Structure 1
Amino acid sequence: MATKKKILLRIGSLRHGGAEKVLVTFLKNLPQDKYEIDLLLNLYSGKYLAEVPKWINVLYLNKGEMITTNRLHDLPTKTYRVLYQKVLQLFPFLLYRFILKGKKYDIEFAAIHGMRDEILNSPLKSSKKIIWIHNDLKKTEFRNYTDAEFQKFFGFDKIMVISEKIQRDFENTAQTEVEKNKIVRIYNPLDTDEILQKSEIGSRINEEQSRTSEPKVPLFLSVGTVFPQKGFDRLLKVHKRLLAEGFPHKIEIIGDGYDFENIKKLQEDLKVTETAALFGFSDNPYPYFKTADFYILSSRYEGFPTVLFEAITLKKKIIATDVSGVREMLEDGKLGLIVDNSEEGIYEGMKQALQNPESFGKYEAQLKEYKMPFNLENSVTAIIKILDEL
């Protein structure tokens, strides 16, 4: 029997984010007989922990919920976590000796770009190293990624990217053919069948309350981790503006994150608590997709917004800001309306949906016949091929 390849996978936590979901979907579809995997988390926390296959060994640096505030009673724990992780980052041999018990890995795998230095600074010089890039690091939000910082990624043996735009950015930064050959584009592994099945089950939270007590009005849905990247603040402001202009409609936001309280406060300040609902995290948001009239992506930046994959799978009418991955996923506007990446762009898109809903008929017709190229099996097979060839 062939020896199993030993792989160390690193990610911050398994909270409810796109990269975390993609990682867990990938792990669930890996053949158990080929690999021995240690999954090392900075924080043993997150909604997707329960979905990690039992044969994968989960290790962690800290345990407990993520601390996103600076409340006085949380500061000692928060400070300890930061210092502990910093010490292990500065002296990686301590991590490899005491937490990883001196284990030798064939492959070390950074599941997000934020784990770049942790993997590159590994004391295991003979291991092959892979990184998975989920974000458009050329955006101003990632201003720390100068050309010099970008160049460091070429210390990896393989750089997996999830969209054409990110691939182009890395190819333009590559200084040699050897570096260029390290870049491989693989669409995120997402399970279409699971999305369709889950959309048929489960009851809608507050559905009766939000949908039947008054005449039906157009409903816009947005799903994502609640932090500034997702632009939910822009969405709420546009919602308020359109209501003031006499366009009745509702908004539902599904997701949780460190910015949740700020968005909740904005919802209250704008006095839209009756028309905009914040439902928090759901492990099955797909029934919400089913009842929504439009899916709206209000993001300021993305890598490859996996939530659009879900909206396409469920044949929703889509409005999306022009961020990385959107043109690729919506085939340059064939499958949905792409708007300017601004509050004004979101406003124009939503106003069109409310004023001229029949203009979305062309997208519905295209979606009806559309065959998804983002295939779970193809993606998993492509990643397995990389693991086996390194």
Structure 2
Amino acid sequence: MKKNILFVVDEREMGGVSVVLNDLVHTLDSNKYNIDILVLHNKGNMLNDLPDHVDIFYGTPYFEAIDYTISEVIKMKKFSLLMKKVRIVFDLKTGFIKQSIQRERKKLIHKQYDVEVAFKDGFTALFVGYGNCMNKIHWLHCSYKTFNPNAKYENLFKKVLPLFDHIVGVSVNVVKEFNEIYHLEKITETIPVVMDVERIKRLSQASSIFSVNEDKLNIVLIGRCHPVKGYDRLFDVVIRLKDENMLGNAHFTIFGDGPLFTHLKERISNEKLNDVISMKGEISNPYAELRNYSLLLLPSFSEAFGIVVFEAFIFKLPVIATKTTGSLVTIDDGENGMICENSDEGLYQSLKQLIQHPDAIDQWKNNLKNFNYDNSKLLKRIETIFDEGEKI
């Protein structure tokens, strides 16, 4: 008999969590599981390419402000949304959030699930934790040392998180940093992300939308235009290299939308960077574009895992990344890319070195020719967790 599985996320914006969830539901056995996805706030364009056996549904109006900050809502000048945000903040601060979630769950959940998965750090843990499912799982994707999404309501989460049967982190360091705060070693474990490699390769066969100048050192960045991604400091480094005549023939292309998109576009125009940085916005199929580039760059302040690194490796594309929890577990420094110090100066020195010695890219590509990502053990462990229904 099939098990009913519910995955809960707060939105479906472009980003690693949406990509990881999409790949996971594509690879789970459809003969064993009926899968639903609940998106609490229907914002974003991801999670469109789902398998036929996966159903998606959306939250009530109560949740429309959960993924905005107060300042973001004020800037939007939407009074009704502001009132919803104020209400959620009030519920979180007073502890009434439990009653509110249980009230909204009655409107949304119309069947009994064998497993409920809070698949994104933060609010989804409250939604699942305050539910009545017998097997509750929480997936961790954040580097809690540099970004703790629960920090504002720490006492609340310290009460809810022990209610879970399993807590899964995407890397050893994610779990370690999480347990330095919450001390839930008995129910936490590490399972790296599952990737639907065959699907990724299939999507890469589509025609490219954007062309590149093959005479350039073409560097690509993929991810939301969010402060944590470090795009502003990359711009500062590019300007410095350009002013010192050290930029060579490097060209940077950014795929992704987000809160800083307009700001970054304005910087390109105001600081005359059009010839060295291109912003293409959100793209539905980045895999068809990756093969056109020489290198992937991640200038992030924080990355818990960095699935885009392994996606690049599938296409034999080396990666330069700042030193983060994610890059330390995905990149073999000097073998398939480079890890630089997580600072403006570190980024500057690494890009300068690459531009002066671009032959390193060919060696890194050669080292990636036998790269293979094996999901089999990961899926086996995930299925065991789904099927157990009891604490580790």
| Inter-partner Cα distance in structure 1 for 2:157 and 2:87 | 27
Q: Is the 8 A contact 1:316 1:364 kept in 2?
A: yes
* 1:147 shift after superposition: 8.0
| Inter-partner Cα distance in structure 2 for 1:317 and 1:56 | 34
Q: What is the aligned partner in structure 2 of residue 121 from structure 1?
A: 130
Q: What is the aligned partner in structure 1 of residue 113 from structure 2?
A: 105
**Does 1:168 pair with 2:173?**
no
Q: What is the aligned partner in structure 2 of residue 157 from structure 1?
A: 165
| Inter-partner Cα distance in structure 1 for 2:377 and 2:291 | 27
Q: What is the aligned partner in structure 2 of residue 76 from structure 1?
A: 79
Q: What is the aligned partner in structure 1 of residue 383 from structure 2?
A: 384
Q: 1:195 aligns with which of 181, 191, 200?
A: 200
* 1:190 shift after superposition: 1.3
Q: What is the aligned partner in structure 2 of residue 185 from structure 1?
A: 190
* 1:224 shift after superposition: 0.5
Q: What is the aligned partner in structure 2 of residue 235 from structure 1?
A: 234
| Inter-partner Cα distance in structure 2 for 1:180 and 1:70 | 37
| Inter-partner Cα distance in structure 2 for 1:166 and 1:330 | 16
Q: What is the aligned partner in structure 2 of residue 91 from structure 1?
A: 100
| Inter-partner Cα distance in structure 2 for 1:298 and 1:37 | 35
Task: Give the SS at the match of 1:181.
Answer: helix
Matched residue pairs, number?
A: 374
* 1:228 shift after superposition: 0.6
Matches within 5 A, 1:1-390: 2=1, 4-62=2-60, 70=73, 75-79=78-82, 81-82=84-85, 90-101=99-110, 103-114=111-122, 115-122=124-131, 124=132, 127-139=134-146, 144=151, 151-152=158-159, 153-172=161-180, 175=183, 179-205=184-210, 207=211, 211=213, 216-246=215-245, 247-248=247-248, 249-372=250-373, 375-390=374-389
| Inter-partner Cα distance in structure 2 for 1:195 and 1:239 | 31
* 1:81 shift after superposition: 4.8
C-alpha distance 224-5 of structure 1, shift in aligned 2 (>3 A): same
| Inter-partner Cα distance in structure 1 for 2:156 and 2:341 | 29
TM, length-normalised to structure 2? 0.85
Q: CA RMSD in A?
A: 2.9
| Inter-partner Cα distance in structure 2 for 1:218 and 1:331 | 22
Q: Percent identity?
A: 26
| Inter-partner Cα distance in structure 2 for 1:229 and 1:72 | 20
Q: Is the 8 A contact 1:221 1:288 kept in 2?
A: no
C-alpha distance 99-360 of structure 1, shift in aligned 2 (>3 A): closer
Q: Is the 8 A contact 1:16 1:47 kept in 2?
A: yes
Letter in 2 for 1:131: H
C-alpha distance 197-61 of structure 1, shift in aligned 2 (>3 A): closer
* 1:288-327 CA distance string (max 9 Å, x none): 3222222111100011001101111111232110011212
Instruction: Compare 142-151 and 327-336 and name the one that shifted more.
Output: 142-151
Q: Is the 8 A contact 1:44 1:62 kept in 2?
A: no
* 1:90 shift after superposition: 4.2
Letter in 2 for 1:9: F
| Inter-partner Cα distance in structure 1 for 2:177 and 2:294 | 35
Task: Give the SS at the match of 2:36.
Answer: strand
Task: Give the SS at the match of 1:292.
Answer: coil
Q: Which blocks of at least 5 consecutive residues in structure 1 are unaligned?
A: none
| Inter-partner Cα distance in structure 2 for 1:34 and 1:286 | 29
Instruction: Compare 332-341 and 250-259 and name the one that shifted more.
Output: 332-341
Q: Is the 8 A contact 2:140 2:168 kept in 1?
A: yes
Q: Is the 8 A contact 2:323 2:341 kept in 1?
A: yes
Instruction: Compare 270-279 and 49-58 and name the one that shifted more.
Output: 49-58
* 1:249-284 CA distance string (max 9 Å, x none): 211000111221122122223220232100011121
* 1:62 shift after superposition: 4.8
TM, length-normalised to structure 1? 0.85
Instruction: Compare 221-230 and 91-100 and name the one that shifted more.
Output: 91-100
* 1:387 shift after superposition: 0.2
Instruction: Compare 77-86 and 65-74 and name the one that shifted more.
Output: 65-74
| Inter-partner Cα distance in structure 1 for 2:378 and 2:360 | 34
C-alpha distance 33-77 of structure 1, shift in aligned 2 (>3 A): farther
* 1:47 shift after superposition: 2.2
* 1:237 shift after superposition: 1.5
Instruction: Compare 24-33 and 155-164 and name the one that shifted more.
Output: 24-33
Task: Give the SS at the match of 1:204.
Answer: coil
* 1:365 shift after superposition: 3.3
C-alpha distance 149-312 of structure 1, shift in aligned 2 (>3 A): farther
Task: Give the SS at the match of 1:25.
Answer: helix
Q: Is the 8 A contact 1:164 1:325 kept in 2?
A: no
* 1:21-68 CA distance string (max 9 Å, x none): 111211122233433333221122332232233433322125899889
C-alpha distance 143-172 of structure 1, shift in aligned 2 (>3 A): closer
Q: What is the aligned partner in structure 1 of residue 94 from structure 2?
A: none
* 1:384 shift after superposition: 1.6
Instruction: Compare 276-285 and 137-146 and name the one that shifted more.
Output: 137-146
